[in-house]
Amino acid sequence: MPIHTLYPAERGNLRLSFEYFPPKNDDMEVQLFQTVADLSAFNPAFVTMTYGAGGSTKARSLTAVRRMIHDEHIANTAAHLTCVGATRAEVDAIVSEFIDNGVRHFVALRGDPQGGIGARYAPFPDGYENAAALVAAIRSAGDFDISVSAYPEKHPESPDVDADIDMLKRKVDNGATRALTQFFFDNNDFERYLERVRRAGIHIPVVPGIMPINNLASIRKFAGLCGAKVPDAIVTRLIHLDESPEERFKEATHIAAEQIVDLARRGLRDFHIYTMNRSPLVAAVCDLVGFERLAPAATQSRSAGAAA
């Protein structure tokens, strides 16, 4: 049986979630919501909308979340929120605005430094100092689902994995209900990390973040900034296909599908896919793994039910 194939009984209880980012212009808005429509066929447990480095997309994030919930009828839309570039009072006001627009799930993050990835992070004056403090603030506002970040290969600013896990425990103690990981490509790294998380007494779901590789050069650069690595075996499978887009697409589809199937066979049931606001590769991966698509009528019915 090919590694990318799951029996129906194996894949029947797997759950997906998708991450999107707010569009910068009209063309990107069209692409985003076409992607949302395409991937809604896979009946995601929830979707998330990012907030932007340094809170730079705050207004666009709110606009996109509002449209997702009220126009696209995707009630299970989670809003990212960071500590960066705002006082506590300003962050609290943003939380209230999201809540007023129907948000019941937040992704609470410290956020990248205002100077960009690699710059030194410093808490904003009179702002929340880290994600644990932000989780506590959101929890004080109500009984919401609160996802947080986790790093199987260590956050680039952490001295070691133990410091990462200590911060994750602080976030959980303050009310986090789920961890979504940074993308990774070596499932052994994730499994070792998850074992250490459980030994630390952390029992919330830790959902692996999956990044289908649309562009190898971009992913290698981004992975370097995030403290992740792209294994040589994956580079070897893709690097010679730059001039063969169809073959590159097929190989990238198999790489991501194989990763999901292997994780499923290790007992994982939830998968968070970074879509980059593009549906073709993500949809191909989901199809190859064997995730069922809702019939068009069922998709419409689901949207109508969310709107009711």
Q: In this structure, are residues 200 and 169 in contact, taking their beta carbons and an 8 Å threshold?
A: yes
pLDDT given for residue 9 in this prediction: 56
Residue for token pair 């999901």: 260
User: How much is the average pLDDT of 222-243?
Assistant: 93
Q: In this predicted model, which residue has the larger pLDDT, 162 or 300?
A: 162
pLDDT given for residue 6 in this prediction: 65
Burial class (CB in 10 A: 0-12, 13-18, 19+), 132: buried
pLDDT per position as a tens digit, 35-45? 999 999 999 99
Q: Give the residue numbers annotated as catalytic, written as ranges.
A: 19
Residue for token pair 């410093």: 122
pLDDT given for residue 13 in this prediction: 83
Q: In this structure, are residues 124 and 84 in contact, taking their beta carbons and an 8 Å threshold?
A: yes
pTM: 0.91
* Domains of the chain, each with CATH number or no CATH: 10-289 (3.20.20.220)
Q: In this predicted model, which residue has the larger pLDDT, 168 or 53?
A: 168
Q: In this predicted model, which residue has the larger pLDDT, 13 or 164?
A: 164
pLDDT per position as a tens digit, 95-142? 999 999 999 999 999 876 555 565 566 678 888 999 999 999 999 999
Q: Give just the sign of the alpha carbon dihedral 115, 121, 126, 130.
A: positive
Q: Which of 143, 148, 185 is nearest to 169 (CA)?
A: 148
User: How much is the average pLDDT of 223-228?
Assistant: 88
Burial class (CB in 10 A: 0-12, 13-18, 19+), 165: buried
Residue 52: how many other CB atoms lie within 10 Å: 20
Instruction: Please state which of the ranges 165-169, 245-249, 293-297 shows the lowest mean pLDDT.
Output: 293-297
The confidence band for 185, taking pLDDT boundaries of 50, 70 and 90, is very high
pLDDT given for residue 113 in this prediction: 59
Asked if pLDDT for residue 307 goes beyond 50, the answer is no
